Structure 1
Amino acid sequence: MDDDTRDESDVVFEMRNLEVTFGTNRGESKVVRDVDLDIYRNETLGIVGESGSGKSMLSSTLLNAVVEPGQTSGEVTYYPPDDREPISVLDLSEKELKKFRWEEVAMVFQGAMSSFNPVKRVRGHFEETLEDHNRDIDAGMERARGILEDLYLDPDRVLGSYPYELSGGMKQRALIALSLVLEPEVLVMDEPTAALDLLMQRSIVSLLRDLKEEYDLTIIFITHDLPLLTKLANRLVVMYAFDVVEIGETEEILYDAAHPYTRMLLQATPDLNVPVDEMRSVEGNKPDPVIRIPGCSYHPRCPMADESCKREEPPMATRSPTHETACFYHDDVDEEMPLRSDGEGGQ
C-alpha cells in the first residue's frame, strides 16, 4: 500500500453536498445523499456496498454521466495535474464533457460485450476513439499495442478480432486498454470483474496494480465484493442506503471496522478457514429509495440500534485521522460486534 499521508494538493476529485435524485410515480427518490468525499491523486479507492446502495450513481457523478431523468446537485471538482485550473464537472458543456470523459477521466463498465459494437473489429473501436478526439491514429495505435501487451494480450490477435471472438477476460482487458488509450489521469471501474470467474477476477486485479504504477493512474473501483479490494485499494468507502457510512484506509476497515454495517459485510464474506458458526448473513431487507426513514438508515437491520438511532441521523465521527464513520456507537462496536476470530473478517 502507498503512504496515505496527504494534504490538499493531493486531491484529484472533491465532492461536496453531492446528491442524485430521480422523480418516480411514488415520489422523489434520492440515490446519492449529501456526500462529501475527497479522492487523492494516485490512490486506488474502493467503493463497496450491497447492490442498490448507490455506488454506481456516485461514480457516474465523477463524469457527470447520470442519465436522465436523474438530477445531480452539489459540487464535483476535478483538479488536473500540471497546475491547470480546477474543473467544475457538473458545469461542463456537452462538448467539454466529451473531451473530459476520455482524456481526463475514463470509465470501464462491467459489461465488456455490450461496450463493444459486435460488428466492428476491436481495432475499429480504438481508431474511432482516437479520431473523435483528434489524436494521431498511428501514434495512438502504437500506444494501444503497448497497453495490450502490458495486459498480456497479443495485439495482432485482439485488434484483428470481432468482440465475439474473444473470451470474457480478453474482452474486459481490451476494454481497459481502450479506456487508457487517450492517457487519462483517472480510471473509474464499475463492477469490471462481475461477469468473470474467480481466477480471472484475481488476474485483472493483479494487472490493475501493475497498470496503476506503469501509467501513473488514480483508480476508483466500485464493487459489492469486499475481498476483491483487499489487495488493490488504499482506502475504502462503504455505502449503505445511498449514504457514505464509513471511510478509512483498507487495513483500518478490515481490522477495525467501525460501522455495524461494515462489520456485517465482513462477517458475511465466505471464508473456508472460519468455522461455520462464526459466519453471518446480512439480515433484513435493503431500504426503499423513496421512503426515507427517520434516524440512522441502518437502524432497522442493526443489532446495536436504540431509540436515539431511530430518531436522529448520526453525523460522521472521527475514529482516527484517516478513519470516519456515521455511527453513534462506534466506540462500542468491538464489544457488541467482534470481528471473526481470524481478525480479518473474511479475506
Structure 2
Amino acid sequence: MANQREELDGSLSVDDPILSLRNASVTFDEGNSFVLNDVSLDLGRGEILGIVGESGSGKSMLAEAMLDAIPDPGVLQGEIIYRPDSDTDIDILELNKNELRSMRWEQISMVFQGAMSSFNPTMKVGAHFRETIQAHDADVKAGMSRAREALADVYLDPERVLDSYPHELSGGMQQRALIALSIVLEPDILVMDEPTAALDLLMQRSILLLLEDLKEKYDLTMVFITHDLPLVAALADRMAIMYAFDLVEAGPTDEIIDHAAHPYTRALLNSTPNLDAPLEEMRPIAGQSPAPINVPSGCSYHPRCPLADEQCRSVDPHFHDTGEAHGTACFHWQQARDDIELNYKASVSANPNTPARGDD
C-alpha cells in the first residue's frame, strides 16, 4: 500500500523548503488503518500551499502531522523537518514535550476547523489570548498589544472582541478572532484546516482577502486545507490534491486549474459550482472514497475512475512529470486531459470578484 519515493517529484519539492514531510504515515488500530499513507511533500518558504480533497481524504491528518498533533491512539511515523532558516534542520518528531509545546504557536500555528469549537464558551476572547501568551512564557503586556493589532488587522474592533464571549460574536467574527489568536506569537507557518467551511460565500471571500494581507504583513508561510478547489485557487501559489490518504497531484495553481492531469482532480473541478458552467453541467463524482481499512489495491481511485484498466487495479502509480513543475500519480494522465472535459471556459483562479470586508 505504501508508495515509497526516494527522491521527490519536482511537483512535490521546492528549492527553499521551510517544512518537509518524508514518508509521513498515520495509522490506527495497531497499524491496520492508514489515515495518512506515506506522504512526502515540501512547503516552500513564503508560499501559500492549498491542500484539496473530499471529506475523509486525510487532509486534516496531514495538517495535524505537520505539528505532530495526531490524537491518541494514532501513530505518526516518518520525518517532519522544520527549517527556521536555510542552515537549520529540526526534526519535529524528535522533539520532547516541552520543545514541541514551544514550537506550536510560536513557529507553526494552526487554525482548526470550526471557530466555535476552538473557543472555550465560558471564557472571554481576551482570556484566550492571555492564556496563550502566558503558556509560552511571553510578556503579557507586549503580547496583548500584539493581540489588539492582530484583531485590527482582521478588521475587528479589538476592545469589543476581547471583552466578548465567543457566542456574542458572529461566525465570521469568531473565525477572524481565531486567525488573530493563531498569529499573536508571530509564527513562521500558519496551517488552516477548512477555515471557511461554516461561512457564507461573501465571508469566505473576505477571509481569503485578509489572509493575503496577513501573509505580507507577518511574512507568513501558509497551508490552506479545503474540500473546495476553486475557492483556494484564488489564494494559493501551489496546490496538492489528496485522495484516499495520499497525494495524487501537485503543481502551481494555474497549472492545476487549467491543465489538471489526474481524473480525480478533473472530477473535483466538474463537481464544484462555478459561474462559467450551467448547473446542469455539474457532475457529481460517482461512488465513494474508500474507508481507511478498505483502500483498494493498485491506484486507490480506480473503482471510481472512467479510465481505469487492469494496470490501475494492480499497480500503485508513481508520480509522472507532466511539465511546469506539475506532477500526478496516474498512468493515464494524458488521456484524462483529452477524455475528461472540464465544464468551464476560463481559469477559476482569475476571479475578478472583490467582496467587501465587514464585521458580519
Is TM > 0.5 for Structure 1 vs Structure 2? yes
Q: Give the match for residue 17 of structure 2.
A: 11
Q: CA deviation at 1:134?
A: 1.1
Asked if 1:159 corresponds to 2:162, the answer is yes
Taking the TM superposition and a 5 Å limit, the aligned residue runs for 1:1-347 are 10-23=16-29, 28-81=32-85, 85-344=88-347
Cα deviation, 1:116-135, whole Å, max 9, x if unaligned, reads: 11121111111111111111
Cα deviation, 1:277-333, whole Å, max 9, x if unaligned, reads: 532111111112112322110001000111111111110111114101000011222
Aligned letter for 1:317?
H
Q: CA deviation at 1:5?
A: 12
**Do the aligned partners of 1:238 and 1:262 also contact (CA within 8 Å) in 2?**
yes
Q: CA deviation at 1:107?
A: 0.4
Q: CA deviation at 1:9?
A: 5.5
Secondary structure in 1 matching 2:29: strand
Separation in 2 of the partners of 1:271 and 1:206? 19
Q: CA deviation at 1:18?
A: 1.0
Separation in 2 of the partners of 1:97 and 1:7? 25
Cα deviation, 1:110-159, whole Å, max 9, x if unaligned, reads: 22112111121111111111111111111111111111111111111011
**Do the aligned partners of 1:248 and 1:322 also contact (CA within 8 Å) in 2?**
yes
Aligned letter for 1:23?
D
Number of equivalent positions: 341
Separation in 2 of the partners of 1:313 and 1:330? 14
Secondary structure in 1 matching 2:32: strand
Structure 1, gaps ≥5 residues long: none
**Do the aligned partners of 2:276 and 2:344 also contact (CA within 8 Å) in 1?**
no
Which is further off, 7-16 or 173-182? 7-16
**Do the aligned partners of 1:14 and 1:38 also contact (CA within 8 Å) in 2?**
yes
**Do the aligned partners of 2:12 and 2:41 also contact (CA within 8 Å) in 1?**
no
Cα-Cα RMSD: 2.0
Separation in 2 of the partners of 1:178 and 1:293? 41
| CA pair 268-6 structure 1, distance change in 2 beyond 3 A | closer
| CA pair 261-119 structure 1, distance change in 2 beyond 3 A | same
| CA pair 16-282 structure 1, distance change in 2 beyond 3 A | same
Cα deviation, 1:173-205, whole Å, max 9, x if unaligned, reads: 111111111110000000111111111111111
Separation in 2 of the partners of 1:207 and 1:293? 41
Q: CA deviation at 1:162?
A: 1.1
**Do the aligned partners of 1:235 and 1:248 also contact (CA within 8 Å) in 2?**
yes
| CA pair 212-6 structure 1, distance change in 2 beyond 3 A | farther
Aligned letter for 1:56?
S
TM-score between the two structures when normalised by the length of structure 1: 0.94
Which is further off, 10-19 or 331-340? 331-340
| CA pair 111-276 structure 1, distance change in 2 beyond 3 A | closer
Which is further off, 27-36 or 83-92? 83-92
Which is further off, 316-325 or 39-48? 316-325
Q: CA deviation at 1:345?
A: 6.7
**Do the aligned partners of 2:23 and 2:38 also contact (CA within 8 Å) in 1?**
yes
Aligned letter for 2:146?
R
**Do the aligned partners of 2:32 and 2:293 also contact (CA within 8 Å) in 1?**
yes
Secondary structure in 2 matching 1:233: coil
Secondary structure in 1 matching 2:318: coil
Cα deviation, 1:49-86, whole Å, max 9, x if unaligned, reads: 000000000111110000111001111100013x5631
Separation in 2 of the partners of 1:28 and 1:7? 29
Cα deviation, 1:8-29, whole Å, max 9, x if unaligned, reads: 66201111111110117xx811
Structure 2, gaps ≥5 residues long: 1-9, 352-360
**Do the aligned partners of 1:339 and 1:345 also contact (CA within 8 Å) in 2?**
no
**Do the aligned partners of 1:266 and 1:345 also contact (CA within 8 Å) in 2?**
no
Separation in 2 of the partners of 1:290 and 1:6? 26
Separation in 1 of the partners of 2:12 and 2:150? 30
**Do the aligned partners of 2:11 and 2:251 also contact (CA within 8 Å) in 1?**
no
